[in-house]
Structure formats: C-alpha cells, structure tokens
Amino acid sequence: MTSIFAFRTRSPDRDEDTDRARFERLARALDQLASEVEAEKAGIRSRYEAVSANAAFLVEAMDNDAATSRRAAEMDQLTEALKNCLRRIEVLGRQTEFVSGLRHSVDMFAAEGGKAVGEVAT
C-alpha cells in the first residue's frame, strides 16, 4: 500500500515556468492577430485611395460631358466599393480594439501571477 505521504507536488518554480510560457504563447498569438488585422487594414486603405483617385478622374470626365451612361454605372460601382472599404476598415478597427483589450487582459493576468480571483500570490 502506498502512503499518502509519498505523493509529491511539482516545484513552484516549474509551475511558474509553465505558466509564463503559456501566457507568452498566448501573447504572441494575439500579437500575430493584431499584425494580420493591421496588414489587412493597410491593404484596404491602399485600395480605398486607388478607388478614390479613379472616382475623382471619372467625376472630372463627367463634368466635362465626356462620360457616357456606362461611365455613370462605373461611378456607382466605385461609390459602392468606397462604401465597402469604409465598412471593412470600421470592422477591422473594432477587431483591433478587441484584440488589444485581450492582450491587455493577458498582460494583467500574467503580471498578477495568473492567480484566480481570491487566490493569494506566493
């Protein structure tokens, strides 16, 4: 029969190392997500600028009566593309805020030693 006194726990140092590594992986994953969102936002901003420039040239052509009805339809498409870009940029902004909040929470939790509410840090 095994004695209950033979049961041994892991060392607190090993537990701390495991916890630290876990939170570092989580922080890196959140940083990667933030980078992906920012890259997408930059790409959409570039697209928005290009579409805006095309729309400006088209408006100028329409003002000079050089635009046909086909050009009017093209202007509608450009307008819709600009609206879509702005909507997506807004969504990505909310995602950035959300991921940033998660990252802050992870940092705070890890700084507190990863202890549960009411648990005393040693």
Q: Is the alpha carbon torsion for 27, 30, 31, 32 positive or negative? A: positive
Cα distance between residue 101 and residue 103, in whole Å = 5
DSSP code of 68?
A: -
Token couple for 110: 């890890």
Question: Where exactly are the structural domains of the chain?
Answer: 21-115
Cα distance between residue 37 and residue 95, in whole Å = 7
Helices 12-63 and 69-111 cross at an angle (nearest 10°) of 160
Cα distance between residue 98 and residue 28, in whole Å = 15
Residue range 16-30, pLDDT digits in tens: 888 889 999 999 999
For range 43-71, the mean pLDDT? 84
Look up the pTM and report it.
0.75
